[in-house]
Amino acid sequence: MSTKQKVLQVLENRKGDHISGEELAKALGISRNSVWKAINSLRSEGYKLEAVPNRGYCLLEDNDIISEQSVHKHLKNDDFFRLTVMERVDSTNSVLKQLAERGEQEGCVVIANEQTSGKGRMGRSFYSPPGSGVYISLLLRPKLSAADSLLITTAAAVAVSRAIEDITGRKTAIKWVNDIYCGGKKVCGILTEASVDFESGTLSYAVLGIGINIADPDGGFPKELEHIATSIYAGEPYSSEIRSKLSASVLDNFLEIYIQLHTKSFMNEYRKRSFVIGKEIYIISPNAREEALVLGIDDDARLIVKTSDGEIKTLSSGEISIREKKA
């Protein structure tokens, strides 16, 4: 950890309080000149820091910059997660997949303030503008078959739902298989990308990507997303630490489920949070839309449907949309 990061960690842990340069230097075993340089460097990065004679430095409460230090202070399981926070990346999943191929261990997390090529399901992009959301990828090395990898995505959906409700108080619902909704629109997308060991049929690794819209982006959502997407706060004010708190809560909640993933006990909660069970839907394929009724979701996270011709089948992947009832 660099001197600047160490100074930031102390300031984050005492956010809103003043701490003297002398106290910082003594606590970190560095010179006061090193403290001064670190403070100036943080200011140049946009941190709002107050310096008061005879009182010291203070990281102001309204700082909205997400950092390893700002997330770590809210994590309960900081011994499992190793965080890297980046200002701008093409895709957090892409960054982490490269690290996974080089042998990075489970628990590595990449968080970004902006993605220029965020990934969604079915080859789509995920709109990831700066300053309005949080984009997280987590490296996992589970002992799972490729067929069971869907459990990672559904576990993450439950974890994100819990985190949003715990941190923001907003009610959530899950659209099979990977979307989180608030107020009838999507606020979060989840994408799990995996590498399979074809000899054993098990996963070599999985990269779990989570994108959450916290505030409306400057200028609003693109026209093609206006009727689909929203943000948790949707124009309302929110605490400057929400992104850090929410990131930590998502990770903690996911780990709680992940360590007992094989029991599939979380699937009961997934079903309770689902808003598609009992709904008439379209099953969307590249060349057609098939009408069906959702009967339920099984313990392998597969959607159980009854098609218009009476056939009952299960879906482990694909795209669905709710059929609007005619007036």
pLDDT at residue 62 in the model: 85
Alpha-carbon Rg for the chain in angstroms: 22
Residue 7, domain CATH: 1.10.10.10
pLDDT mean over 105-133: 82
Tokens encoding 311: 């056939």
Mark whether 46 and 133 lie in a shared domain. no
Please answer whether residues 39 and 7 qualify as being in contact, where contact means their C-beta atoms are separated by less than 8 angstroms: yes
* pLDDT of amino acid 123: 58
**Spatial distance between the Cα atoms of 293 and 280, rounded to a whole number of angstroms:** 4
CATH number of the domain to which 123 belongs:
3.30.930.10
Q: Are 92 and 188 in contact (CB under 8 A)?
A: no
Share of the chain above pLDDT 90, in %: 73
Tens-digit pLDDT profile for residues 133-151:
999 999 999 989 887 889 9
| Same domain assignment for residues 180 and 113 | yes
Q: Six-digit token pair at 277?
A: 């069970």
Residue 297: pLDDT band (50, 70, 90) is very high
74 and 36, same structural domain? no
Q: Within 13 Å of residue 47, how many CA atoms lie on the same side as its CB?
A: 27
Is 107 in the same domain as 34?
A: no
- For residues 103 and 37, state if they share a domain: no
Per-residue pLDDT band for 273 (boundaries 50, 70, 90) equals very high
Can you give the pLDDT at residue 19? Answer: 95
In a shared domain, residues 33 and 175: no
Tokens of 128: 């990831």
Does residue 84 sit in the same domain as residue 233? yes
- Quick check: 239 pLDDT over 90? no
Residue 187 CA to residue 228 CA, distance in Å, equals: 9
Overall domain count for the chain: 3
154 and 284 inside one domain: no
Residue 90 lies in a domain: yes
Q: Rounded to the nearest 5 degrees, what angle is found at the Cα of 8, between the Cα atoms of 16 and 248?
A: 80
Strand partners, 316: none
Verify that 135 and 246 share a domain, yes or no.
Answer: yes
Domain limit, last residue, from 239, 256, 273: 273
Do 179 and 239 fall into the same domain? yes
What CATH number is associated with residue 305? 2.30.30.100
Considering the domain boundaries, does residue 260 fall inside one? yes
Give a yes or no: residue 127 inside a domain: yes
d(CA 225, CA 120): 13
Question: In this predicted structure, what is the pLDDT of residue 142?
Answer: 94
Phi and psi angles of residue 108, each rounded to the nearest 5 degrees, phi first: -70, 130
User: What is the rounded distance in angstroms from the CA atom of residue 298 to the CA atom of residue 172?
Assistant: 21
Residue that has been written with the tokens 């011994």 in this structure: 79
DSSP annotation of 17: S
Residue-level pLDDT at 58:
94
| Residue 278 banded pLDDT, cuts 50, 70, 90 | very high
Query: What is the reported pTM?
Result: 0.91
How many degrees, rounded to 5, is the angle at CA 134 between CA 237 and CA 207? 160
Residue 327 domain-assigned (yes or no): no
Q: Which residues are CB-neighbours of 160 under 8 A, at least 6 positions away?
A: 172, 180, 188, 190, 210, 212, 250, 253
Last-in-domain residue among 251, 273, 295? 273
Query: For residue 326, what pLDDT is reported?
Result: 60
For residue 55, being part of any structural domain is answered with yes
DSSP string, 243-289: HHHHHHHHHHHHHHHHTTGGGTTTHHHHHHHBS-TT-EEEEEETTEE
Q: Please indicate, yes or no, whether residues 85 and 209 belong to a single structural domain of this protein.
A: yes
Q: How many alpha carbons lie under 13 Å from residue 71 in its C-beta half-sphere?
A: 28
Domain co-membership, 80 together with 223: yes
Whether residue 220 lies inside any domain: the answer is: yes
Please indicate whether residue 148 or residue 84 has the higher confidence score (pLDDT). Answer: 84
pLDDT digits (tens, 9 = 90+) for 189-201: 999 999 988 878 7
**End-of-domain residue from the set 31, 59, 87:** 59
Q: What is the span of the domain harbouring residue 13?
A: 3-59
The reply to whether 298 falls in a domain is: yes
